[in-house]
Amino acid sequence: MANVVIVGAQWGDEGKGKIVDLLTRYADIAVRFQGGNNAGHTIVLKGEKFVFHLVPSGILYENKKCMIGSGVVVDPAVLIEEITELKKRGYLKDDSQLMVSEEAHLILPYHRRIDIARDRVFKIGTTGRGIGPAYEDKAARYGIRMVDLMDEEAFRKKLKANLLQKNLYLSEVLKEEPFEFSEIYDEYLRYKNQIQKYVKDTSRILYEEIQKGSHVLFEGAQGALLDLDHGTYPYVTASNTVSGNACAGSGIGPTMIDSVVGVAKAYTTRVGEGPFPTELKDQIGERIREKGGEYGATTGRPRRCGWFDAVIVNHAIRINDIREMAITKLDVLDDFDRVKICVGYRLNGKVLQHVPSNLGMLENCEPVYEELDGWRREVKEAKQISDLPVQAQNYLKRIEALVRVKITMVSVGSERNETIEVKNPFQNFK
């Protein structure tokens, strides 16, 4: 038995989908444990592009089970759309391959409307998908769960009660249009009929599978610096993105986790508002954006781009207990004469090696850079580290030394086979 958690070690968009897709071949089950359809995991397989927002990235393997855990907030319309698209493209032939936790909370239309209206004022940079308001209802204990949707009378009572306060808030505070009960109720009952075969007691099933010796891969969404508690608050997501939440968000105990793999790009990106010390607001940043296709898989928004930041990756390693690293998109830096790594922050004459919790301080931090030679050659044909240009090897070695964690995977292109695998994180447990 081996249970491995995959987490983002930056501000999300690190290429976790590809890493999960690759590592699912060693696992029996892939589990998504937090977030909602504000996440977008992109996989390229034989030239075909797949973007997953809710379904775990491991779904492209026929013989693997995929679970959406209780820590995920689910928009049924998006889930149905993904399932329909998968089936149309020849995947998910067996419906038993996908399971959705009966304890997962629903995103409802009023969540989306509230989300968009509030962001006009607070300007957090939300995706407008209703994720935050859905988690708020969960914490306030009047959220509506999948198990409620499966019971029409329970759903009716909870939706009526919620609409009393939601409509008042929408019309009186946000000056938005309220909702009619029937438009939501009827719509969601149609969703129920399409998804009820996937709704299961996933926590119990997962526990039983682990007891039988199954290997499980836990898939996080977003990145460590977007964690609700440990990220650059308030410019964060509405859930805990760190590895510790793999347990709470899937319904197993902490002693069942064997290892944590952190994923980071060979540079850094961020979507939305918030401090970003290594951001490049120049032609270099634009080159990285265009070469890396740095536009949000969920929203299409251009991502802010900058050099690799070892300070934030070390922060991620500490709060996740990351044991090994996967570096993605090394090929994006192929065309640079020189590349830089941020090794510290200069603030008021001092050099910091940590991420300040005070955002005012973080916004005023200047990156301290080390500069290395670029490689000016394509790396996508490399099958092992020694195949890389020596300058690219030196770049990876320097990152490894700064973060003090072994790099065990390097993505050198978008395709599944364009990856250097130094070590399989499941191998020590087989």
Question: Residue 369 belongs to what H/E stretch?
Answer: strand 366-373
Tell me whether the omega of the peptide bond preceding residue 234 falls within 30 degrees of 0, making it cis. yes
Residue 342: both structure tokens together: 């941020």
| Sheet strands (E) in 153-274 | 199-200, 216-219, 259-265, 268-270
Question: Residue 66 belongs to what H/E stretch?
Answer: strand 65-68
Q: What is the maximal distance between C-alpha atoms in the chain? A: 66
The amino acid that residue 129 corresponds to is: R
For 245-336, where are the alpha helices, taking DSSP H only?
Answer: 245-248, 283-292, 310-320
Residue 59: both structure tokens together: 């779904």
| Torsion angle (degrees, nearest 10) of CA 61, 419, 27, 47 | -10
Q: Point out the residues that are catalytic.
A: 13, 41
CB 343 within 8 A of CB 310: yes
The amino acid that residue 412 corresponds to is: V
| Torsion angle (degrees, nearest 10) of CA 282, 284, 287, 293 | -80
Across the strands, what pairs with 302? 295
CB 240 within 8 A of CB 227: yes
* Secondary-structure percent of the chain, ordered helix, strand, coil, rounded to 5: 40, 20, 40
Across the strands, what pairs with 54? none
d(CA 6, CA 217): 7
φ/ψ of 170, rounded to 5, equals -60, -45
CB atoms under 10 Å from CB of 388, counted, come to 22
**345: three-class secondary structure by DSSP:** strand
CB 61 within 8 A of CB 20: no
**Count of residues for the chain?**
430
d(CA 116, CA 121): 9
**90's torsion region: left (phi>0), alpha (psi -120 to 50) or beta?**
left
